[in-house]
Amino acid sequence: MTAESEQSYNRTVQSVSSVGALSVPWSATDARLTMPAALGVAGIPALVITDAAGKILTANGRQHLSADPLGFNFPWAQRPVSVLTEQALLKMARHPAVVLFIDDEDSEIEFAESVITPSAESYYEECSIQFPGFCPYQNSSDDETMDFDYPTSRHSRLKKKPFKHVMFYIGIDGTR
């Protein structure tokens, strides 16, 4: 790490200190370098949102903040069903997906959520997944790559198999 990196780090820490954000001192190199993997973040700087008890609600707070700058959906906890976005399309290249397409009307959005959410919750419960990105067996620190590695049967406890879970989306047609 260069002196320029340290200056950049210190500027970032100073810019967020007024809101009470926590940071690791530059001198704590080991902790600073291992923290991204421990928190499951891929990009630095990262915004990790926790609840009052310290449980991570999302390791990808930057994405949530840019998608919801006024915080209407805060605290941005993981949901079983997401709105189909451009970023979601990238995930669909790596994961099977269920998409329910609807018109951009409140009644249709409510209907879609009432139909697809129970299916998604049931699926994640059956697969022992706490919603995308929060699987205890996730072996990737990249929030965008959700390759799971855990036993799929009693006979395969020693031999782990990769598992790509299904993503659930609501595709909203905003054209009129």
Contact between 23 and 32 under an 8 Å Cβ cutoff? The reply is no
In order, the DSSP letters of 57-105 are EES-HHHHHHH-TT-TTTT----SSEE--HHHHHHHTTS-EEEEEEES-
Share of the chain above pLDDT 70, in %: 72
What pLDDT does 85 receive?
A: 81
Model pLDDT for residues 88-117, shown as the tens digit of each residue: 787 777 778 899 999 988 899 899 989 999
The C-alpha atoms of residue 74 and residue 55 are separated, in whole angstroms, by 15
Average pLDDT, the chain: 74
Q: Which residues contact 143 (CB under 8 A, 6 or more apart)?
A: 40, 41, 42, 59, 60, 133
- The number of helix segments (H) and strand segments (E) in the chain equals 5, 7
Model pLDDT for residues 134-144, shown as the tens digit of each residue: 443 333 334 44
- CATH code, residues 1-77: 3.40.30.10
Amino acid identity at 84: L
Q: How confident is the model at residue 64 (pLDDT cuts 50, 70, 90)?
A: confident
Domain with CATH 3.40.30.10 in the chain: 1-77
Contact between 139 and 68 under an 8 Å Cβ cutoff? The reply is no
